[in-house]
Amino acid sequence: MSNTVEASLVWKAEQSFEATSGARGMIVDGEQTAGWSPMQHLLVALGGCMGIDIADILMKMRTPPTRLGLELVGERPEDPPRRFNRITLLLKVEGDVPLKNVDRAVELSRDRYCSVWRTFSQDTEFNVDIEIS
């Protein structure tokens, strides 16, 4: 596995870029008309990274969920650079999964495995709420 990730962006119009990485493409749009904003991409990247980790860890614990959903809310100040200063993740777990296993999976993802989270500034507040049904 390579230790590099590459992406390229080509300006299309106004605040819209066509982005590619590998064989996949997407639109990045600061006005949120043709695609997601960079900050929306960032929240999806964080959710995807943690979701993959959590699902994998729960399967290795032999307590796989029947469904796993993630909802993220990022809070930003009004003044630039308007980075996320708080992120809240609601983790919705369905199935016979003990809360202690979910807590441990979240802890391992956040503190060890999720490269997206580890890329954030360490002074970003990060809260996780869990619902098991």
* Confidence check: pLDDT of 33 > 90: yes
What does each C-alpha distance from 118 to 14, 92, 113, 128, 130 come to in angstroms?
32, 22, 8, 16, 21
Query: How confident is residue 68, by pLDDT bands cut at 50, 70 and 90?
Result: very high
Mean pLDDT, range 45-68, rounded to an integer: 97
The pLDDT of residue 26 is 95
Portion of the chain with pLDDT greater than 70, in percent: 98
Every domain of the chain with CATH number 3.30.300.20 lies at: 38-132
Is the confidence at residue 123, as pLDDT, over 90? no
User: Does the pLDDT at position 1 exceed 80?
Assistant: no
Average pLDDT, stretch 49-63?
Answer: 98
Would you tell me how many other CB atoms lie within 10 Å of the CB of residue 28?
A: 19
Provide the CATH number for the domain formed by 38-132 in this structure. Answer: 3.30.300.20
Look at residue 110 and tell me whether its pLDDT is greater than 90.
yes
What does the pLDDT average to over 44-73?
A: 97
Residue 103 in this model has a pLDDT that exceeds 70:
yes
pLDDT of residue 60: 98
